[in-house]
Amino acid sequence: QLGVAKKLEMQTGLKMEPAWNSHFVLEPYDFLFDSAVEAYYKGDWLSVILNMEKALRNKATVRKVKTQCRLGCANQTAFGDQLAGTGDPVPGSGSLADLGFFQKILRRADCVKTCESEKLGSPTLHEVTEDVELEFRKRTPYNYLQVAYFKINKLDKAVAAAHTFFQANPDHVEMRQNLDYYKMMAGVEEGHFKDLEAREHMAEFLLGKRFYSNDSFEQAAEHFEVAVREFFTSNQECRVLCEGAYNYDGYNYMEYSADLFQTITDHYMQVLSCKQRCALELATNTDQPFDDFLPSHFNYLQFSYYNSENLEQAIECAKTFLLFYPDDEVMKDNLAYYSVMLGEDKAQTISPRQQSMLEKELLYFGYEAFGITFVDPDKWTPEEIMPKKLRDKQKADRETAARITEEIGNLMKEIETLVEEKKKDSSDVAKMVAPQPGTMTDKQLNGSQRVLLDKVISEDECRELQRLSNAAALKGDGYRGTPSPHSPGEMFQGVTVLKALKLGQEGKVPLKSARAFFDVSEKARRILELYFQLKTPLYFSYSHLVCRSAIDEKQEARTDLSHPVHADNCLLVSEMNECIKEPPAYTHRDYSAILYLNDDFEGGDFIFTKLDAKTVTAEIRPQCGRMVGFGAGKENPHGVRAVTKGQRCAVALWFTLDPAHEEKVGMISTTPTAGSSSAAFMLWLRQAALLFWTSLLLPVQERADENLHPLLFCRRGSKLRRC
């Protein structure tokens, strides 16, 4: 990786000097971010803070400069005034009006380029990858900062950083725990819990709602008015930043061959679509947008002004709200009441705060004329703005969706009936977790969140799954085809539940075997839920039938492990006795289970260790039907000793408490034709789903009809739900 100075020299042609040199250029925030992350893993907390804080400042500076330059240049080169000499077209000379328009375009481009270059340097200097942009949108820098500040005992700053990160990541379990811990610490005050990235319009809106809820209507109106002003200021800044480079989005740059006016149209429609989304972005608090954010300001304002006996402002805000929802009966009644109280004649002279529909009209024209996609973010867009064909299509889609929803509901009831019938015939899983010979608990396994159970499945089921592995497993499956991903002394092969079910439907492996894989993984899930007394369901994150085979000629003087010691949802740094719960670790995993299928091999024992990855706390010998289950976090580092002879097979299962990360399983075939009716679609859906479940539930092998089409399900406990 090139250093910052090198990058600056290459892109600007300037020899980098100390900061007081007249040629000093703002350091790229992506390099500062990388430097901070590197310092984090070295434990250099001061460097983490210096680089990460500077990265945040420099990113804000880049945004501010671009906003100021583009707004300033827009004001200097407005398109509204006609240039001198651009009257009627002169025959044979082209349109002078066109020339005047493009003259202003060129002047604005020169203005923006000059302004940004003078303040920021080369245009490419501050370009960053999408990955880096995503990290800043997720507020990841504050996650690093809260740790660094905590390490140097700056609790007020650590709390603020943690709170700021959590506002954008409210489902981050570890950060919620950190915040709970901070609340109990001496020296931490309520005022330390502040959002360092809070946007003023949103803060004022939330303050207004608080006063409104307490019937403090005058104060509420003041804050809502500030929120409206700040919203439009932020909206203007967001919109001007949309005027960037064209995103080819599916086009090959070299193959894009539109003419002048089509190129202008494509780019301008993309810019307008981006500008329309700004309102949605500004309506987002934490990770969820408020419904009808802008109209709701005027709804709150009209009632606040009425209760403050300011009828003129109440009428203005009520009329403004009706621009968004002209058929709202409650607001029309309010307006009529206010008008009577103020006087009809005076009320008629009060105008709403205006808004323009021209942008939406242009975007819908682009959709109708050129097929340029536009997803309208607003629910209040008047229907007359939309092309008639689109209105008719949306109406038909709504009717079709309603019919399909009803059919899917009926289908799910049928599927659940089949599942219940199967559950009645299955053994009572609760008996499995009751204390019995062979069971080992946390205490016996010298740790926490650990359990060992024997006879979870029968010897026949073990043999069935071993046969499935040898028939369907691929070398290096799950490891990009690398046949020896963990040790050169062993060959690894595996098959997922999705692949097994697909092969079963295609008749390439016995469907009975694929069904057994599905059933035993579901049984393991239920056992973990019951044993660990979970209040929320576990979802499958990944299911893998795996075998490790010793390579005979590579066993001499082996000292490595079959699978190095690791944790399942964090990055184990054994030298520091730490486990860092950050990507690329599978941070969403919460519980794990290994179900063993055989014991006719040498080596291959499963081990738990301490965080140093060396001190073994428990060692487990695999055998058919034995299952070890455990929490997937840093409390349970684990590995596998070398398999020195034979083949070791097991079902490896990872679970999550977050349904967003559940494993996808489905049936794959061809797709319905574009002309398929909704009735035909529902017939296909019913046939596909029932055939899939029948294949899982019945002991008779069925073959999928060649005319069936793809159907994707998500595993939800013992049920498959449409994703």
CATH (domain of 181): 1.25.40
DSSP code at position 2: -
Same domain, 286 and 314: yes
User: Residue 683 has what pLDDT?
Assistant: 46
Q: State residue 122 phi and psi, 5-degree precision.
A: -55, 140
Same domain, 360 and 245: yes
User: Please, where are the H alpha helices in 377-492?
Assistant: 388-425, 429-432, 459-472
Q: State residue 608 phi and psi, 5-degree precision.
A: -100, 145
* Number of Cα atoms under 13 Å in the Cβ half of residue 286: 9
Same domain, 265 and 122: no
Give every CB contact of residue 362 below 8 A, 6+ residues apart in sequence. 269, 272
**What H or E segment, with its residue span, contains residue 179?**
helix 173-183
Same domain, 165 and 51: yes
Same domain, 586 and 447: yes
CA distance 282 to 289: 8
CATH number at residue 519: 2.60.120.620
Residues 565/490, Cβ–Cβ less than 8 Å: no
How would residue 274 be classed by pLDDT, with cut points 50, 70 and 90? confident
How would residue 339 be classed by pLDDT, with cut points 50, 70 and 90? very high
CA distance 415 to 405: 15
DSSP 595-639: EE----SEE--EEEE-TTS-SEEEEE---TT-EEEEESSTT--EE
Residues 489/602, Cβ–Cβ less than 8 Å: no
Q: Which of 97-106, 238-247, 467-476, 642-651 has the lowest mean pLDDT?
A: 97-106
Report whether pLDDT(429) > 50.
Answer: yes
* Residue 198 neighbours by CB distance under 10 Å: 13
User: Residue 323 has what pLDDT?
Assistant: 85
Residue 302 identity (one-letter amino acid): Q
**Among 8, 175, 173, residue whose Cα is nearest residue 656:** 173
Would the pTM of this model clear 0.85, i.e. be above it?
Answer: no
pLDDT in tens, 699-710: 333 333 333 333
CA distance 658 to 538: 8
Q: How many domains does the chain have?
A: 3
User: Residue 701 has what pLDDT?
Assistant: 34
pLDDT in tens, 607-624: 999 999 999 999 999 999
- The strand pairing partners of 566, in sequence order, are 638
Mean pLDDT confidence for 271-287: 81
Residues 270/362, Cβ–Cβ less than 8 Å: no
CA distance 221 to 225: 6
Same domain, 130 and 232: no
CA distance 422 to 356: 60
User: Residue 276 has what pLDDT?
Assistant: 84
What distances in angstroms separate CA 383 from CA 285, 376, 496, one per listed residue? 28, 12, 48
DSSP code at position 259: -
Does 309 map to a domain? Answer: yes
**Among 706, 693, 464, residue whose Cα is nearest residue 597:** 464
Same domain, 211 and 354: yes
* DSSP 3-state of 17: coil
Residue 490 identity (one-letter amino acid): E
What is the number of residues in the chain?
723
Does 529 map to a domain? Answer: yes
CA distance 668 to 692: 11
How do beta strands 643-645 and 602-603 pair? antiparallel
Q: Which of 347, 370, 393 is the last residue of a domain?
A: 370
Mean pLDDT confidence for 236-263: 78
Give every CB contact of residue 58 below 8 A, 6+ residues apart in sequence. 26, 27, 28, 29, 32
How would residue 43 be classed by pLDDT, with cut points 50, 70 and 90? very high
Does 333 map to a domain? Answer: yes
Q: Taking phi first (over 0 means left), then psi (-120 to 50 degrees means alpha), and beta for anything else, what does residue 247 get?
A: beta
Mean pLDDT confidence for 448-454: 92
User: Given 108, 515, 648, 715, which residue is catalytic?
Assistant: 648
Report whether pLDDT(630) > 60.
Answer: yes
Q: Which residues of 471-506 are buried (b: 16+ CB within 10 A; e: fewer)?
A: ebbeebbbeeeebbbbbebbbbbbbbbbbbbbbbbe
CA distance 336 to 342: 10
CA distance 356 to 354: 7
User: Residue 44 has what pLDDT?
Assistant: 95
Same domain, 270 and 182: no
Residue 536 identity (one-letter amino acid): T
Same domain, 214 and 186: no
Report whether pLDDT(58) > 70.
Answer: yes
User: Residue 712 has what pLDDT?
Assistant: 40
Same domain, 456 and 603: yes
Does 709 map to a domain? Answer: no
Does 705 map to a domain? Answer: no
Mean pLDDT confidence for 100-125: 86
Same domain, 446 and 567: yes
Q: Which of 370, 405, 422 is the last residue of a domain?
A: 370
Which residue range(s) make up the domain with 578?
Answer: 438-661
Give yes or no for a cis peptide into 89 (omega within 30° of 0).
Answer: no
Record the tokens describing residue 344, joined without a space. 């009809």
Record the tokens describing residue 378, joined without a space. 């607003």
CA distance 339 to 332: 10
Does 117 map to a domain? Answer: yes
CA distance 264 to 267: 5
Report whether pLDDT(455) > 60.
Answer: yes
Mean pLDDT confidence for 354-372: 69
Does 143 map to a domain? Answer: yes
Same domain, 114 and 243: no
User: Residue 80 has what pLDDT?
Assistant: 54
Tell me the Cα Rg of the chain: 32
Known catalytic residue at 648: yes
Kindly provide the residue ranges of all beta strands, DSSP E only, lying in 232-305, ordered along the sequence. Answer: 284-285, 288-289
How would residue 283 be classed by pLDDT, with cut points 50, 70 and 90? confident
Record the tokens describing residue 3, joined without a space. 């250093």
Record the tokens describing residue 94, joined without a space. 């082209």
Mean pLDDT confidence for 554-564: 90
**506 or 111, greater pLDDT:** 111
Q: Which residues of 62-79 are buried (b: 16+ CB within 10 A; e: fewer)?
A: beebbbebbeebbeebee
**Among 536, 497, 527, residue whose Cα is nearest residue 652:** 497
Handedness of CA 180, 182, 186, 190 (dihedral sign): negative
CA distance 605 to 594: 12
User: Residue 87 has what pLDDT?
Assistant: 52
Q: Which of 661, 683, 700 is the last residue of a domain?
A: 661
What distances in angstroms separate CA 133 from CA 140, 625, 651, 667, one per listed residue? 10, 48, 38, 36
- How open is the CA angle 419-421-425, to the nearest 5 degrees? 115
Record the tokens describing residue 523, joined without a space. 């049984």
Q: State residue 86 phi and psi, 5-degree precision.
A: -110, 55
CA distance 471 to 500: 10
- What is the Cα 302 distance to its own chain's centre? 37
User: Residue 78 has what pLDDT?
Assistant: 64
What distances in angstroms separate CA 722 from CA 308, 411, 564, 715, one per listed residue? 51, 11, 37, 9
CA distance 518 to 710: 19
What distances in angstroms separate CA 718 from CA 40, 426, 651, 700, one per listed residue? 43, 12, 18, 20
- The strand pairing partners of 544, in sequence order, are 496, 652
DSSP 398-429: HHHHHHHHHHHHHHHHHHHHHHHHHHHHS--H
Does 243 map to a domain? Answer: yes
User: Please, where are the H alpha helices in 506-550?
Assistant: 511-531
